[in-house]
Amino acid sequence: ILAAKRKAVDHALKVALETKAGDLSETDAQHDGLGGAIWHFTEAVLCQPFVAVERREAARRIRDAFIPDLSVLSDSYADEAAAAKANRPKLEALEAELRMLPTPDGHTLYEWALAFVDKGDELARKLAARTQGSALEAFRQQTALRVTTIGLIGRFRASLRDELKENPALPATIEADLFSGLDGLSQRRAE
């Protein structure tokens, strides 16, 4: 039974870590990659001396609206998600400027900006899902697993003590040998 409980605890930890980091970090990496591409693209347009003035001004407005500074791409998930919500109306307002700048992949900067905002919205949805029902249910399951496992260990220890009373041939240090690791953890937690 203890081996099965340990397997369940290991699985719960793995799922919790994957839920916290993996899904959000992948979406964030795509969001930040798109934002970096937009910033560097507008930087290239602004630096190139032979680009038409109206295109350079469009690039400046786009940068100011979406990625005024690369540091915004290292903001928290929540801040980036909130920025995406604020950026959605800017897509429509700057659509003409975004569409006048062709990108190397055969699209326009509009598609890049749309994907950037979409990834920000996706980040917001995943954050909300993580903090709502699924996270609460996972917490309940983890709490139940913790309580039942601790109870099982306590019952095992009590049974071992009963066995030691009835069977003096067992080593006197068996309880300390078996539970020293757990006792150490409990001591450190108490401290």
Residue 14 reports pLDDT greater than 80: no
φ, ψ (nearest 5 deg) of residue 171: -60, 140
Q: Are 62 and 42 in contact (CB under 8 A)?
A: yes
Compute the average pLDDT of residues 86-92: 96
Per-residue pLDDT tens digits for 27-73: 999 999 999 999 999 999 999 999 999 999 999 999 999 999 999 99
pLDDT value at position 6? Answer: 81
Q: Look-up: residue for tokens 């709490």? A: 143
Q: How many CA atoms lie within 13 A of 30 on its CB side?
A: 17
Q: What does the pLDDT read at residue 21?
A: 44
- Which positions ≥6 away from 8 have C-beta within 8 Å? 145, 149
Helix, strand and coil percent figures for the chain, each rounded to 5: 85, 0, 15
Please tell me the predicted confidence (pLDDT) of residue 112.
Answer: 98
CA–CA separation, 99 vs 129, rounded Å?
A: 34
Name which residue leads in pLDDT, 90 or 184. 90
Nearest Cα to Cα of residue 101 among 109, 93, 90: 109
Q: What is the average pLDDT across 95-118?
A: 97
Which pLDDT value is given to residue 55?
96
pLDDT average, residue stretch 169-190: 89
How much is the mean pLDDT over the chain? 88
Whether 87 shows a pLDDT value over 90: the answer reads yes
For residues 174 and 176, give the distance between their C-alpha atoms in angstroms, rounded to a whole number.
Answer: 6
